[in-house]
A and B are shown apart, each in its own frame.
Chain A
Amino acid sequence: MSHVSGTGNGNGSGNGHANGKPSEPAVIRLEPAAPPKYWTSLADLAGDPAVRDLQSREFRTPSEDPTEVPSRRDFLKFLGAGAAFAAAGCARKPVEKILPYLKAPEDVTPGNAVYYATTCGECPAACGALVKTREGRPIKLEGNPDHPLTQGRLCARGQGAVLNLYDPDRLKSPVVVDRATRAASAGTWGEIDKKAIRAFQQATEQGKAVVLLSGTITSPSTLALTHDFLSTFPAAEHVVYDAVSNDALARAQELSYGERLVPGYNFDKADLIISLGADFLATWLSPVEFARGYSRRRRPESGVMNRLVILEPSMSLTGTNADQRIRVRPEDLYPVAMALAHELLVREPRGGMAGDAGVVQALRAFPADGVETTAGLPQGTLTALANELWAARGRSLVVAGPQAAPAAHAVALQVAVNILNSALGNEGVTVTAATASRQSQGSEEAMTRLVERMRSGDVGVLLVQGANPAYTLPTAVGFAEALKRVPFVVSFAERLDETASLADVVAPDANFLESWNDHEPRRGVRSLTQPAISPLVDVRQFQESLLAWARYLGKGPLGASTASWHDWLKERWRTEVYAAADAAAPFEIFWEGSLRTGVVAVGTPAPSARPFRSGSTAGLPEPGTRADGSLTLVLYTPTSMYDGRSANNAWLQEVPDPVTKITWDNVALISPSRAKQLGLTGPTESELSSEVILVDAGHAKVEIPVHVQPGLHPDVVAIAIGYGRSAAGRVGNRVGQNAFMLAQATGGRIGTAGISVKVSNTGRRASVAMTQGHQSAENRPIIYETTFAEFQRDPRAGNESHGTLPSMWTRHKYAGHKWGMAIDLTSCIGCSACMVACRSENNIPAVGKKIILQGREMDWIRIDRYYSGDPENPDTVHQAMLCQHCENAPCETVCPVLATTHSSEGLNVQTYNRCVGTRYCSNNCPYKVRRFNWWEYSRVPEKSLRLVLNPDVTVRTRGIMEKCTMCVQRIRDGKEKAKALGVAVVDGDIQTACMQTCPTDAIVFGDLNDPLSRVAKLAKNDRGYHVLEELNTLPSITYQTKVRNREEANA
């Protein structure tokens, strides 16, 4: 099973506890007191016979030594090692302190978790995170509750990021690549450094440029360091390039307001949100922050509820949550935005901007009725929207996806959005430059320019960090060809990825969990990254490499520095953040405090509205003509894969796409009507395979299986990027097709939408691992929904719950706690963060495509997605479905061996070691939330993957049933903590993994017996109901009816 990951060492009848063999960390502890280099490494130790002996003993199989039963025994050794490891940590040079989080225990006690505050490094959104470590191993990432933007939440990718640390396909040492043969061989740091220095000197001598090509760097200190480093060279440049780019947005801001930036968006201040193809709940800029802001203003009980209108060609996760969804071709997004402005400023001039002649002139060509006709929208749609916007002026927000429109419209669309926000007075309120985002700085123009320079032989050394242009740039740009003209290329990739394999040397960067760093995702928010573990492999942090090279070169601002990167970072904080933070305490105290909290708020100027520059409307494109019904391609960013950076992460590959519910693949989405026309069916409930179609964009083509996706514009073919990697690793290689190839490169801009394509059936079929085949809830008592207006009239609207049903038996008493959960369908956006959090917390194996095709996915919590209404543009409901912990649990009654029983605290508990695997419980579970171990998933050849296991959760062996435990180990921890302090458990002290990470607070866990708890109140509230209530299983999970903010119940 090549795709299996994240599992443990189950053995025999028992379930190998998730203890993790003491591989790398335990070994590091044995390092001589004065290691030769900054990071200790395995390679250095390989020659040590004592270590070899220890390793061989540690990994001995039980059969070799009858006196020793492996897992537990090794665990104890590891436990003993834990304390020593901490000591060894202090013995490292330079001596650093790694400080635990404020509320965590003072030091490492084997068996007790230690949390460190850090920043998620999965994407440039840089959400605040806590790393949970056990015995020195990071085992889980959680949101940092003190972080002002994300407030303790993480997305699915953030939850999955911890697995990347243990990825066995990471480079284990620096690598030297022979560019002629592309053969890679392991090198030493000395070798790499020597080569690099020589290349730097040569470039300087030849007058060629040294260029750093990076993804967005949110770290001010790193940026300062790179600036200092590059200033060593006479000709140097830092090019920032993001595969998922907001370049058009930044460019439009520059045009409209004078400064190139990505503003901060305050979704929590908007009553009306109009999104033109921006998937802000899933992938755009800072999805956790946005989802949180969006959901905070979406509480029907509070009396205010925002309204989300989306106009989009494809069906995004945000689109599935929209109160009103309007399908628009990508080419029509810009005219539609302009038409809205036309309604506000020209047809019926409203507000100050109506007097701006330049703007009005630009808008003239876009009357609403005309645009409605060309875009195929019902007459009056845009007028009504504009009126709504005007009514919500100053409380609304218009956003547009920078990649949703064709390249030719990308900037223009953003300018139109700027007009709208300025005209409505949103500028300075819901759109603020004062708290501008640093999360996306890439420039497509700079990137294409760089390729030109490379081609011309102008570039002497290219350093590539945090970007993979050989994979993400469309072939037409010719990056790989141009790269051949660069004499020396250094890649800092942590794996031999598509770009790294074209480089001369790879100096692998450390994982963020092994790194020091700082981040400023939004102006005024400074967070820290601190290592939670020393590097598992022989890697060197990118910044450390720059410092080392600068030292060798002996020139420039860094030439004389002897500081380590940590020193450098700390010094920056002393001079920059400490000064700005205006702290009373001495710096050391401030620094330690910052490490504990992980984040520091620095003052920002008060937000103010920037004046709109009317000149920016000059040269905006003219409106188009009505489309002829030909197919147009949209490349969208998928929720779990993003730009493909973590393609080798099995957890993320296994998360079903929240909209299509397809795992381990990207597919070509087409609308039902178009599918009918083309005679395609796509995968179905009983046939998990689909027709392979050829999508031909002229300059490139892909063959890809098709999926019929309700809600798509009939003219659109949508394909996810981020798949089809060739050098991601054993998990991620050849999963899906690389859709980046289909992107267009025109005029310095990468176009990902509105690409004209032809589609033909190849006649072949391919399997599609889809986890939900049936799309409709069939009007069953599963989903109840209403509208906000109805809800205000009657809070019970739509809720067909009946309360208590008669029973033959008297109910058991639950005297102490009675754990329960409430899930709000109005808040649940389907982002799937809970699924990955659950997987990480509970050692749930990723089983791979083949096994998912067998219908055997293992998630304890899944998101059921149901469509209703018009199949061409349906309403969507996301419903988190997990074990309902029924008081009258049907599963318990039928288990012959008492393996699943009810606890005195109302939990439906599963005793794995008692289970014989009849599967009767699963058959009798009306919610079908139980998961069976059909194969031995815990047998993982890659030992490093065992390190990610949570030692508090039994690793399940083959042949037994498992399911949601409501994180019984967390309940236990919470109760033990309270007991140790001699206090009662307080509501909110215990959070399940899913609740902990839910960006929208849709999941609330707590004690139903505590009348003051949130969950007890929600369970009794008017929107509360139980799924399949008529079965009288009395679930402990209460769902809240879905409230949509619109006129009719089923528009």
Chain B
Amino acid sequence: MFNPFAKKPPLRGVLALYDDPDTLLTAAAQVRAHGFTGADAYTPYAVHGLSEALGIKKSWIPFVTLIMGLSGAGLGLYFQIWTSAYDWPINVGGKPFISLPAFIPITFECGVLIGGTMTLAALLVACGLPDFSTPVLDRSLTNDRFAIFIPESGRDWNEERTLQFLKGTNASELRVVRA
């Protein structure tokens, strides 16, 4: 079972804070060019182009929506046909037991319902939310500041060099994170 309160593996790395998205975007491109893997950014809103800059893969959520939507619709239709024509067929207003036109609205609604709720579920799963254990790196990151985080990775990790590199990206503040 998924536990939002369970402790996550510790967060270690270097955080660079920026005051405006322009600088952030430029820095992100540099981070990627410099070959840092697993770098992440924290922004108060979705800054367009940032994922591309950081080389983050495209989200797989649309596939969930599509597949779940279609299965929802299929299940809805199947359920209607099964209850109306097989489980207990009842003559209603002289209509055929499988009154397909009448089943369309619910088929559609089932598709949307399952597709939509599963999209939300997929978002939570993809982001690992809810997650109350990861520390807030800085309160301003949901307000007016932007950050790039380069996690400690592998044996050839060099904190000093990373800090040095980030200083060169016009970061307004640098922090070493040991959470």
Contacts and interface: CB of A to CB of B under 8 A. Distances in A.
B92 A810 contact: no
Name the residue in A886, A893, A904, A1034 with the highest tally of chain B Cβ atoms < 10 Å from its Cβ. Answer: A893
Name the residue in B90, B92, B95, B96 with the highest tally of chain A Cβ atoms < 10 Å from its Cβ. Answer: B92
Contacts of A887: 94
B94 A888 contact: yes
A457 interface: no
B91 interface: yes
A893 B95 contact: yes
Contact of B96 (A810, A886, A895, A1034): A810
A172 interface: no
B93 interface: yes
Contacts of A895: 92
Contact of B91 (A810, A891, A901, A1034): A901
A652 to B, nearest CB: 37
A904 B95 CA distance: 13
Contacts of A893: 92-93, 95
A809 B99 CA distance: 9
Interface string B67-91: 0000000000000000000000011
Contacts of B92: 892-893, 895, 898, 901-902
A888 B95 CA distance: 7
Contacts, number: 37
A811 B91 CA distance: 10
Contacts of A1034: 94
Contacts of B96: 809-810
Interface in B144-161: none
A372 B93 CA distance: 58
Contacts of A902: 90-94
Interface in A863-921: 886-893, 895, 898, 901-904
B94 A898 contact: no
Contacts of B95: 809, 888, 893
A891 B93 CA distance: 7
A812 B91 CA distance: 8
Nearest to A811: B94
B94 A901 contact: no
How many B residues are at the interface, by size bracket? under 10
A557 B96 CA distance: 78
A812 B93 CA distance: 10
Nearest to A891: B93
A886 B95 CA distance: 12
A464 B177 CA distance: 112
Nearest to A894: B93
B79 to A, nearest CB: 15
A44 B151 CA distance: 101
B91 to A, nearest CB: 4
A886 B92 CA distance: 11
Contact of B93 (A810, A888, A903): A888
A890 B90 contact: no
Interface string A35-59: 0000000000000000000000000
A898 B96 CA distance: 15
A37 to B, nearest CB: 58
B86 to A, nearest CB: 15
Interface string A796-822: 000000000000011110000000000
A1034 to B, nearest CB: 7
B91 A890 contact: no
Nearest to B88: A898
A898 B91 contact: no
Contacts of B90: 898, 901-902
B90 to A, nearest CB: 5
Interface in B91-143: 91-96
A812 B95 CA distance: 8
Nearest to B97: A812
A812 B94 CA distance: 6
25 contacts: A810-B96, A812-B94, A886-B93, A886-B94, A887-B94, A888-B93, A888-B94, A888-B95, A889-B93, A889-B94, A892-B92, A892-B93, A892-B94, A893-B92, A893-B93, A893-B95, A895-B92, A898-B90, A898-B92, A901-B91, A902-B90, A902-B91, A902-B94, A904-B91, A1034-B94
Nearest 3 interchain pairs by C-beta: A893-B93, A892-B93, A888-B94
Given A901-B92, A903-B91, 18 more contacts: A809-B94, A809-B95, A809-B96, A812-B91, A812-B94, A886-B94, A888-B93, A888-B95, A889-B94, A892-B92, A892-B94, A895-B92, A898-B90, A898-B92, A901-B90, A902-B93, A902-B94, A904-B91
